[in-house]
């Protein structure tokens, strides 16, 4: 990506002002994925001075600023287990030190190992203009009005776990699955290769295949839809064995 100017606002309000008034703007998170794009924009809005790198703990949730890196999610002792596990498989420490949770969620990437655990954990998103919405609603929404993701609220789940299949350690997931239980059991399946989908309160008397019946899997250069479904059923069988041990 090429840009002609970069602005470094000191507040989210100033960043939003730039987003809505500048010519052909783009928000920079860690810049990891933007860097790969062959695109020319006029104004890059760097959020690194907006104070969005904080993790704030409350009794029932963890508030994570949009500029918090994946490495912080991986190493922070209070993060739910599913999230910490998912981060460990994303490329390497150098990349995880750079790329942000805000960029990972805003990109709505189908391959994401970040969105899947957040969806199972029932994360909610705080946008500067649109206010609060669930990650589930964000992923389903067709609204692409530009806005700034300020923070992500992650409820403190009693239990959670993440599973995935990668051909090699640094590769994208062929399929991934996260499971979390707070008041309800939630299963998210991602890298289908489309963005993660949610199953709420499944009937645990059903087989993994039956639980996943309504989830669509498709073909890409990594795997066929049928192969992905088989992998997801196996991951879910493992996950349900783990759930049966949760007190
Ligand atoms: C080589 C490589 C391999 C990767 N492999 C994996 C992988 O295996 N698994 C995986 O899950 N991920 C992978 N990723 C993706 C990575 O984890 C991040 O999700 C991705 O780089 C986006 O995060 P970022 O901070 O770099 O965002 P950027 O690239 O800076 O931004 C991404 C998008 O989000 C927008 N944006 C950023 N921040 C905000 C905000 N606060 N509000 C609104 N919009 C915003 C930007 O304008 C842009 O459209 C990989 C990335 C790279 C570069």
Among 35, 65, 107, the mutation site with the greatest number of ligand 1 atoms within 8 A of its Cβ is 107
Which band of pLDDT confidence, cut at 50, 70 and 90, is reported for residue 247?
confident
**46, 64, 82 — which closes off a domain?**
46
> Cβ < 6 Å from ligand 1: which residues?
26-34, 36, 47, 66, 70, 90-91, 95, 99-100, 102-104, 106-107, 109, 111-114, 148-149, 172
Specify the number of domains making up the chain: 2
Which band of pLDDT confidence, cut at 50, 70 and 90, is reported for residue 1?
confident
Please check whether residues 67 and 28 belong to one and the same domain. no
Residue 99 predicted with pLDDT over 90: yes
User: Taking the alpha carbons of 47, 51, 52, 54 in that order, is the dihedral positive or negative?
Assistant: positive
Please check whether residues 94 and 169 belong to one and the same domain. yes
Nearest atom within ligand 1 for CA of residue 28? 30
Average pLDDT over residues 116-132: 98
Nearest atom within ligand 1 for CA of residue 171? 8
Nearest atom within ligand 1 for CA of residue 67? 41
User: Percentages helix, strand, coil for the chain, rounded to the nearest 5?
Assistant: 30, 30, 45
Which band of pLDDT confidence, cut at 50, 70 and 90, is reported for residue 158?
confident
Please check whether residues 24 and 56 belong to one and the same domain. no
Please check whether residues 38 and 55 belong to one and the same domain. no
Confidence at residue 169, expressed as pLDDT on a 0 to 100 scale = 86
Please check whether residues 65 and 132 belong to one and the same domain. yes
**CATH classification of the domain holding 225:** 3.30.465.10
Q: How far apart are CA 60 and CA 83, in angstroms?
A: 16
The whole domain housing 180 covers: 51-247
Please check whether residues 35 and 142 belong to one and the same domain. no
pLDDT digits (tens, 9 = 90+) for 160-208: 999 999 999 889 999 999 999 988 999 999 999 999 999 999 999 999 9
Q: How far apart are CA 90 and CA 96, in angstroms?
A: 7
Q: pTM for this one?
A: 0.98
Nearest atom within ligand 1 for CA of residue 149? 42
What mean pLDDT value characterizes the chain? 96
Please check whether residues 187 and 228 belong to one and the same domain. yes
């Amino acid at each position: 990506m090429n840009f002609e100017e970069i602005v470094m606002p000191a507040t989210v309000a100033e960043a939003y002002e730039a987003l809505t008034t500048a010519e052909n703007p783009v928000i920079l998170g860690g810049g990891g994925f933007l860097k790969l794009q062959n695109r020319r924009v006029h104004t890059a809005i760097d959020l690194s001075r907006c104070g969005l790198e904080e993790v704030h703990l409350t009794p029932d949730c963890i508030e994570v600023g949009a500029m918090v890196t994946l490495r912080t999610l991986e190493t922070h002792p209070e993060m739910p287990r599913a999230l910490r596990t998912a981060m460990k498989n994303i490329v390497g420490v150098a990349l995880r030190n750079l790329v942000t949770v805000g960029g990972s969620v805003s990109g709505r990437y189908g391959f994401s190992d970040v969105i899947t655990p957040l969806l199972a954990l029932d994360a909610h998103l705080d946008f500067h203009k649109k206010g609060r919405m669930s990650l589930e609603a964000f992923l389903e929404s067709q609204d692409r009005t530009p806005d700034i993701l300020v923070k992500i609220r992650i409820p403190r789940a009693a239990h959670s776990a993440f599973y995935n299949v990668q051909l090699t350690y640094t590769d994208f997931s062929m399929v991934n699955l996260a499971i979390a239980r707070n008041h309800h059991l939630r299963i998210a399946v991602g890298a289908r290769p489309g963005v993660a989908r949610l199953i709420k309160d499944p009937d645990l008397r059903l087989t993994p295949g039956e639980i996943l019946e309504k989830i669509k899997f498709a073909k890409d250069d990594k795997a066929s839809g049928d192969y992905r479904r088989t992998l997801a059923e196996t991951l879910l069988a493992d996950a349900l064995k783990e759930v049966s041990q949760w007190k």
